[in-house]
Amino acid sequence: MEKDFREVVQSWLDGNFDEQTKDQIRQLRESDPAGLEDAFYRNLEFGTGGLRGVMGVGTNRMNKYTVGMATQGLANYMKANCTGELSVCISFDSRNNSEAFAKITADVLAANGIKVFIFDILHPIALMSYSVRTKKATAGIMITASHNPKEYNGYKVFWSDGAQVISPVDKDIVAEVNKITDPSMVKFVPGEDAASIEYMSHEMDDAYLNAVSSLMLSPEARERHKDIKIVYTPIHGSGVHIVPEFLGRLGFEKIYHVPEQDVVDGNFPTVMSPNPEEPGALAMAVEVADREGADIVMATDPDADRLGIAVRDNDGKMVLLNGNQTASILTYYILRRWSELGKLDSTKYVVKTIVTTELIRAIAEKYGVKVFNVLTGFKFIADVVKKNEGKGEFICGGEESYGFNVGEFVRDKDAPISCAMVAECAAWAAEQGKTLYQLLQDIYAEFGYYKESLTSLVRKGKAGVEEIAQIMSDYRANPPKEMAGSPVVKVVDYNKPEETGLPKSNVLQFFNEAGDVVSVRPSGTEPKIKFYFGAKGSDADAKIEVLRSQFVK
C-alpha cells in the first residue's frame, strides 16, 4: 500500500534534505495544503517522454533530489544489466535548472563508476541521440521538458540505439528508481575512484552536421534558390546555434533572426508557451517575415525536437501549417526525390503514428513504400527502425505533434534536419515556379483533401488525473453510436494488444462509415486528455467542427 502523502512529507522534513527544501515544504503546508498534497501524493514516473514534472519540492516534482534518485536508480539498473564499459551521454536545454540538473546527473553517474560525456553548452535532442550512437554509449540523458510551460522540467532517458527507452527497460528502470527512498542512498559526490566526465563540443556538432547533410537531395535547387528568405526562431531554446549553422552550410544566405528570441532564457519571456504548435509562439517571427518579405518562418521548441512553420499563401499572407501538413509535404518531397534518383525499392519504408494523418499512407502507397503505423510517441518510430536494421532502410517518419525525422543517424524527433529539409523542399518547389503552400495544394489535388485537428482538455492535479481516467472509462463502457451523422463501424481499444498487435496503450479510436476517425488519448507527460479528429473530403473542415462539438464538452 502506498504511504499517505503526509507520511512522505514528514520523512522529507525529518530526513537528509537541505534546509531550503524543508523551509519550502513548511511554507506549502501553511499556505497551500492542496499544492503540498500534489507535490507529494505520488512519485514522478517515466511516461511517453521519460521523467517530467513541475519544478519544486516533493516526490512529484523535478528537483535535485528526484533527479539524483532517478539517476541512482538508472545507474543501479545499468550496473546490474549492462556489460562492458558503461557510459552515458548527457545534454540539456535552456530551461531553468537544466544545466544544474545535468551536472547533478553527471556527478551521480561518475560517482557510480560510469563514464560521462556531457555537452558543454545547451544542445538539441538530435545531438544527444547522435552522440549516444557515435560514442557507442550505454545510455543517454536529455534534461528537458520539451515544449511544456516554464514551470516544468524533465529527464529523458535514451538507450544505446539513441532512442528513448521503451518497455520493459523503462519499467525496470522505474523499479530501480523506486528502491531509492532517501537521498542518503544517492552517490551525489564523485570520489577519487569515480569515472571521468568528458565534455563534448564543436567536434560533435561537426560530425552531426556532416552526417545529416548527406541526407539532402537537391543541391542544384539549393544553389539556384539560395536567396530564399527564411526567418528562424529557437524560441529561447537549444536550436539557437545549430539550426542557423546548418542552413548556412547548405548555402542559404537569407536567414533572419528574432533577436529577442535568440536569448537563451528558461522563463521564455516573449511567449505564453514555447510550443511551436501554438500560433502565439510564432507571432514575433511572422512579424519579422512580413517586415523582411520572407518566404518561410521556422520555429523550434526548447529542446529543438519539434518544428512549426509558416508559409505564404496565394495572397501573400503568412499562414501556419500544422504538424500533419508539414509531415505530408516532407514525405511527399523526400519520396518523390528518392524515386527520381532511383533510390526506392521494396526494403525502404516510412513510419507514422496512429494519430497522424492518413495522407502519409496515401503518398507512400503511390511510391510503393511500406508504411508502419505505431503508437503515439517517437520512441515507437525509433523501435521500428531498430527492429529493421539490416533488413530495410528508414526513409523518414513523423507524428502530428510537429515531430519529424529523416534517415537513421538520429533516433528521435530532429528539428534541425526538418528545418533543412523544409528549406530544401522550398528551393525544389521554386524550381517549378511554386511555393510550399502551392505544393501542399498540389498534394491535396492528387491524393484528396485531408483535415486533422487536435483539442486538449487540461485537468491538473490529483482530481484531474481521476477525471481523465473517468472519461476513458465512460468511452469504453459507452462508445458513440455515430459521429458527424455517420454510424460508428469500428472501435479500436489499444489497451488490448492481442487485437491491435501493438504494445498496450490507453488510447481509443472510433471510425465511422464515412471514413472519419476520432482518437482519444490521455497524455503520458502532461495533465491533459487529447482528442484527435481526422476527416477526408471536400466537407472535411465542416465535419471536423461537428466531431469536436460532439466529443469535447
272-318 confidence digits (pLDDT tens)? 999 999 999 999 999 999 999 999 999 999 999 999 999 999 999 99
Helix (H, G, I), strand (E, B) or coil at 144: coil
Per-residue pLDDT, 553: 81
Q: Terminus-to-terminus CA distance in the chain, angstroms? A: 35
* DSSP string computed for 458-473: E--HHHHHHHHHHHHH
Of 151, 121, 158, give the one whose Cα is nearest residue 234.
121
Write down the residue that cell numbers 564523485 correspond to.
Answer: 190
Task: Please answer whether residues 12 and 21 qualify as being in contact, where contact means their C-beta atoms are separated by less than 8 angstroms.
Answer: yes
Per-residue pLDDT, 181: 81
Per-residue pLDDT, 45: 74
Radius of gyration of the chain (CA): 23
**pLDDT beneath 70: ranges in the chain:** 1-3, 46-50, 524-525
Of 255, 228, 236, give the one whose Cα is nearest residue 244.
255
CA 529-530-531 angle, 5° bins: 130
Burial class (CB in 10 A: 0-12, 13-18, 19+), 143: buried
Grid cell locating 118: 556531457
Task: Please answer whether residues 209 and 245 qualify as being in contact, where contact means their C-beta atoms are separated by less than 8 angstroms.
Answer: yes
CA–CA separation, 406 and 381 (whole Å): 11
Identity of the amino acid at 423? A
pTM metric for this prediction: 0.93
Grid cell locating 406: 529523416
The values of phi and psi at residue 541, to 5°, are -60, -45
Per-residue pLDDT, 2: 52
Of 291, 323, 276, 126, give the one whose Cα is nearest residue 211.
126
Angle of helix 33-40 versus helix 461-477 axis, rounded to 10? 60
Task: Please answer whether residues 50 and 156 qualify as being in contact, where contact means their C-beta atoms are separated by less than 8 angstroms.
Answer: yes
The values of phi and psi at residue 332, to 5°, are -60, -50
The DSSP bridge partners found for residue 406 are 396
Structural domains present in the chain = 68-186+195-201 (3.40.120.10), 225-447 (3.40.120.10), 451-551 (3.30.310.50)
Q: Which residues are catalytic?
A: 146
Cis peptide before 527 (omega within 30 of 0): no
Task: Please answer whether residues 330 and 351 qualify as being in contact, where contact means their C-beta atoms are separated by less than 8 angstroms.
Answer: no
